[in-house]
Amino acid sequence: MQKEDRKENKILNRVELTFSWKHDKKSTPSRKEVIDAVHSLEPGSNRDLIVVKDCSTRFGQPLTTGLAYIYSSAEAMAVEPKYIGARHESLRSSSGAKEASTEGGDE
């Protein structure tokens, strides 16, 4: 994955990252793979605060381009529509924490 453009939007407390990803002889990357790649491009980012806003692959070309937003806090991420939050809910790392908390304790 390559970073095409990086803009800091101080009003909305986010970084807007435009990317391109060449994936020769592989399928289109999943949303989780894109979030992981964006996290590796922005080392200080939190996976739970990354939103993949746009992701498109051209027919017949192994090239995916898109736009990802990296928010500084959960409060800043509240500007996103609810359907975007629902789309990313299953990819959040806190879902793994919920499973771990239901496994049991010191009983």
Domain around 7: 2-95
pLDDT for position 65: 93
Has residue 100 been placed in a domain? no
Q: Can you tell me the distance from the alpha carbon of 103 to that of 96, in angstroms, rounded to the nearest whole number?
A: 11
The answer to whether residue 12 sits within a structural domain is yes
Whole-model pTM over 0.85: no
Q: Name, in order, each residue with C-beta under 8 angstroms of 22's C-beta and a sequence gap of 6 or more.
A: 62, 63
| φ, ψ at 54 (rounded to 5°) | -145, 140
CATH number of the domain where residue 20 is located: 3.30.70.330
Q: Which residues of 7-41 are buried (b: 16+ CB within 10 A; e: fewer)?
A: eeeeeebbbebebebeeeeeeebeeebbbebbbee
* 107 is a domain residue: no
Encode the chain (107 residues) as per-residue pLDDT tens digits: 888 999 999 999 999 999 999 988 888 888 899 999 999 988 888 888 899 988 898 888 899 999 999 999 889 888 988 888 888 887 776 544 444 444 444 44
* Residue at token pair 């790392």: 93
The answer to whether 72 and 14 have CB atoms below 8 angstroms apart is: yes
At residue 93, the pLDDT reads 62
Give how many domains the chain has, as a whole number.
1
